[in-house]
Copies of this chain bind each other. A is one copy, B any other.
């Protein structure tokens, strides 16, 4: 969002107040957590942040953009990608962490709303894709690469399909089927995908 601000020369007038950015995002996150997306109204954000509505709109062009930012801020810190020496173990831990995040917060509810908005607004779609989807997929691709290099995974693995096979069912349960997401599930998921990808050491014999 906020442009990088052409180092020195150009900017004139009173500079943006960085505290406003923080207060707005904080208010947005709180409202999302407390009342979900429908509770995130621009008026409510402005009031809670102690800020005029124009100050909000100066930074985010509409409600969905702000919600997206607030969501991403939370999501980005949510689920680290470990490097345990085993791809299977890396995915297991990552999916468990993701499941825990979803259980603890309004993650699913907010994501559902944002996903809906992306289907109405291409700009938003790009934001979600680049800052949420692509980032995680890149991390996951790295895990797979390491697994291949290490000989843990087959050389001809289709990383895209594999990642879809891991994330897909999880988001499907999170958003659509609302089925329970526990360790048993995430582990089974990893099993289902990786058992097809793992090298069959006995095969060559």
Pairwise interchain contact A120-B165, C-beta atoms closer than 8 A: no
Min distance, Cβ A185 to any Cβ of chain B, angstroms = 8
* B contact residues around A137 at 8 Å (CB): 177
Q: Are A165 and B192 in contact (CB under 8 A)?
A: yes
Using a CB-CB cutoff of 8 Å, which residues 86-134 of chain A contact chain B? 108-109, 112-113, 115-116, 118-120, 125, 128-129, 133
Q: Which of A42-50, A55-63, A71-79, A167-175 lies at the interface?
A: A167-175
CA distance A148 to B55 in the complex (A): 62
Contact of A168 among B133, B161, B169 (CB under 8 A): B169
User: Is residue A188 within 8 Å, beta carbon to beta carbon, of the partner chain?
Assistant: yes
Q: Please state if B158 and A164 are interface contacts (CB–CB under 8 Å).
A: no
Please tell me if the beta carbons of A125 and B196 are within 8 angstroms of each other in the complex: no
A182 within 8 A of B: no
Overall SS of chain A's interface: helix
Residue of chain B at shortest CB distance from A197: B192
> Which residues of the other chain, B, contact A125 by a CB distance below 8 angstroms?
178
Known contacts being A36-B120, A119-B109, A120-B38, is A167 close to B172, with CB within 8 Å? yes
Q: Is the CB of A168 within 8 A of B172?
A: yes
Q: Report yes or no: A189 in contact with B164, Cβ–Cβ below 8 A.
A: yes
Extra contacts, 19 of them, besides A137-B177, A169-B172 (Cβ < 8 A), are A37-B116, A112-B116, A115-B115, A115-B175, A119-B175, A133-B176, A161-B189, A164-B169, A164-B173, A164-B179, A164-B189, A165-B169, A165-B189, A168-B169, A168-B172, A171-B175, A172-B172, A175-B175, A192-B196
* A interface residues (Cβ-Cβ under 8 A, vs B): 36-38, 108-109, 112-113, 115-116, 118-120, 125, 128-129, 133, 137, 158, 160-162, 164-165, 167-173, 175-179, 185, 188-189, 192-193, 195-196
